[in-house]
Amino acid sequence: MEFIIIGGGISGLVAARELLKNRHSVKIFESSTVLGGLASSFKIKNKFIPKTYHHLLYNEFVMLDLISELNLQKNIVWNDSHLCFWYDNKAYKLTKPQDILKFKPLSIIARLKMIRLGAISLFKKDWSDLKTTDAYSWARKVVGKEVTENLFKPLAKIKFGELSSVSAAWFGERLHEAAINREKYAYLKGGLQQFIDLIGEDVKLRGGEIYLNSPVTSIKQSEVEVVMNGRKKSFKADKIISSLPPPVLADIASLPKEKKQILKQIKYKSLVCMVIGSKSVITPYYWNVFIKPKMKFGGLFHHTALYPQGGINGEKLYYLFTYLDNTDLFFKESDSKILEVYLKDIKKIYPNFEFSWMKIFKIKYSSPIYTMNYENLPIKLTDSLYLTGIYRKYPSTRTMNTAAKSGLETANYILRENNQETFINDK
Ligand SMILES: Cc1cc2nc3c(=O)[nH]c(=O)nc-3n(C[C@H](O)[C@H](O)[C@H](O)COP(=O)(O)OP(=O)(O)OC[C@H]3O[C@@H](n4cnc5c(N)ncnc54)[C@H](O)[C@@H]3O)c2cc1C
């Protein structure tokens, strides 16, 4: 069969690879000039650096298998990385129970409640029983007012908004993930880009065709219109797989009104992310959450704490970010204004901060918002149009692993529909 895959992010690339393994023909159309989508990198001083913070966790088996299949397992570097919360300009490590015991902003009773929740989260694997309970009510019941108001509520605001608007199932999954992974974070020696490049090369080696700088502008049944070198071209296939955010797909696909409606129901958070190179050590910790005082950037990832070789010329590399709605005025601000606002806040914790370079990325569709009663979209939208992407995997977290899983799932669904077994051992 002939397939067209729209989008060369991880889910699209993984789906392509699986179909190619099963002797199908695949064309990938990617609007950007590079592969990788949300996990793509930019080049500075001959070095590729991810546009946004990225790490791997030890239980991300699909990604880890993929990395091994591409012979990159030797490049996985595990590091002791710490999550810390900033309270009144002081960083508190909050990784192990003994750290929680030392977390002075909370009373002893509240700290003990948190440790108890840590233990529950570690052992509770399935949170689906809490799908219809909101995270705020659940947290109030389990850890009480003090932890909920002073920690979980501001934490939620940083990433997705109101705690009461998301389900306890999704929030619980996050806690479970944090509890089982603790300090086990990894990065790829040599950068994430080599993984993206290798998977792209593997797709091509298996006969797949990849067209960069080729945005798909319309989809009609099994035909797509693509802009290539400024000209519109049409391509036909037996089946089309879309890895686009559903609202984007709704805008370009000819579909019945009710199907467009389903796609548009998936809402996204947007993101402003600044990557900044500096000699200053703002924090020794990898993952920094700012609770008090409030900063415009809710979080800071210190990439070189995870992977010391990750900066330019031995410098430190930081990601500062703000999740927001795309209608928020800050999303529309100029780079110089964003820099000014972020620098003012950095100087609250590190008055002598200086930097040598910075780059700002704005991502409109950075993360689906998993509101209460969120329903995953079906894999098969019409007879010829199939879906893949993280938004299909609620309550799983937005990770490369989830994207890869979704790519495999969609490809295997189509293969099963056609009574074709996958070649499990085919590398
Ligand atoms: C700030 C941030 C931090 C993250 N941190 C981590 C982390 O630490 N660890 C981790 O594992 N994951 C992390 N992720 C998540 C990970 O990057 C994503 O889950 C994954 O890359 C999503 O892949 P995807 O294929 O589903 O979607 P996407 O990457 O969004 O792929 C969709 C592709 O479609 C392309 N496209 C869009 N419109 C068109 C069009 N009209 N025609 C053709 N192509 C089009 C896009 O350019 C893109 O390449 C992070 C993501 C963000 C935003």
pLDDT, tens only, 16-25: 999 999 999 9
Q: How confident is the model at residue 144 (pLDDT cuts 50, 70, 90)?
A: very high
Which residue has the CA at smallest separation from atom 10 of ligand 1? 399
Asked if residue 424 has pLDDT above 50, the reply is no
Ligand 1 mean position, distance from CA 367 (Å):
9
Asked if residue 426 has pLDDT above 50, the reply is no
Better-predicted residue by pLDDT, 94 or 302? 302
- 63 CA: nearest ligand 1 atom: 11
How many domains are there within the chain? Answer: 3
- Is residue 362 domain-shared with residue 377, that is, in the same domain? no
pLDDT for the residue 297:
94
d(CA 290, CA 274): 16
Which residue has the CA at smallest separation from atom 20 of ligand 1? 400
What are 331-346's pLDDT values in tens digits?
999 999 999 999 999 9
What are 94-111's pLDDT values in tens digits?
888 899 999 999 999 999
d(CA 9, CA 31): 10
With a CB cutoff of 8 Å and minimum separation 6, the contacts of 344 are none
- Is residue 155 domain-shared with residue 178, that is, in the same domain? yes
199 burial (CB, 10 Å; 0-12 / 13-18 / 19+) is: buried
Q: Which of 395, 419, 412, 404 is nearest to 160 (CA)?
A: 395
Which residue has the CA at smallest separation from atom 29 of ligand 1? 37
Is 30 in contact with 217 (CB distance < 8 Å)?
A: no
- 273 CA: nearest ligand 1 atom: 1
- Whether residue 24 lies inside any domain: the answer is yes
Pocket test for ligand 1, best of 30, 31, 33, 38 (most atoms within 8 A of CB): 38
What are 219-272's pLDDT values in tens digits?
999 999 999 999 999 999 999 999 999 999 999 999 999 999 999 999 999 999
Asked if residue 422 has pLDDT above 70, the reply is no
* CATH classification at residue 286: 3.90.660.20
- Is residue 343 domain-shared with residue 272, that is, in the same domain? yes
Pocket test for ligand 1, best of 5, 81, 399, 405 (most atoms within 8 A of CB): 399
Asked if residue 1 has pLDDT above 70, the reply is yes
Q: Ligand 1: residues within 6 Å at CB?
A: 6-12, 29-32, 37-39, 52-55, 215-216, 243-244, 248, 271, 273, 363, 366, 389-390, 398-403
Is 190 in contact with 196 (CB distance < 8 Å)?
A: no
- Whether residue 91 lies inside any domain: the answer is no
Asked if residue 369 has pLDDT above 70, the reply is yes
Residue 256 Cα distances to 220, 250, 261, 262, angstroms: 11, 10, 9, 10
Ligand 1 mean position, distance from CA 205 (Å):
23
pLDDT for the residue 59:
86
What are 63-87's pLDDT values in tens digits?
999 999 999 999 999 987 778 999 8
- Whether residue 398 lies inside any domain: the answer is yes
pLDDT for the residue 425:
38
- Whether residue 170 lies inside any domain: the answer is yes
Ligand 1 mean position, distance from CA 403 (Å):
8
d(CA 219, CA 10): 21
- 52 CA: nearest ligand 1 atom: 1
Ligand 1 mean position, distance from CA 105 (Å):
36
- 11 CA: nearest ligand 1 atom: 25
- Is residue 256 domain-shared with residue 380, that is, in the same domain? yes
Q: Which of 354, 338, 340 is nearest to 274 (CA)?
A: 338
- What is the percent of the chain where pLDDT is above 70? 97
**Per-residue pLDDT averaged across 278-307, rounded?**
93
pLDDT for the residue 292:
85
Picking from 92-106, 295-309, 394-408, which range would have the lowest pLDDT averaged per residue?
A: 92-106
Asked if residue 374 has pLDDT above 90, the reply is no
Q: What is the ipTM of this complex?
A: 0.99
Domain that holds residue 297: 268-368
Is 265 in contact with 59 (CB distance < 8 Å)?
A: no
- Is residue 255 domain-shared with residue 377, that is, in the same domain? yes
Picking from 43-52, 158-167, 301-310, 374-383, which range would have the lowest pLDDT averaged per residue?
A: 158-167
- Whether residue 87 lies inside any domain: the answer is no
With a CB cutoff of 8 Å and minimum separation 6, the contacts of 347 are 353
pLDDT for the residue 415:
96
Ligand 1 mean position, distance from CA 89 (Å):
33
Mean pLDDT (the chain) is: 93
Pocket test for ligand 1, best of 243, 365, 405 (most atoms within 8 A of CB): 243
Is 96 in contact with 142 (CB distance < 8 Å)?
A: no
- Whether residue 68 lies inside any domain: the answer is no
pLDDT for the residue 182:
66
pLDDT for the residue 177:
82
- Is residue 151 domain-shared with residue 133, that is, in the same domain? yes
Which residue has the CA at smallest separation from atom 51 of ligand 1? 38
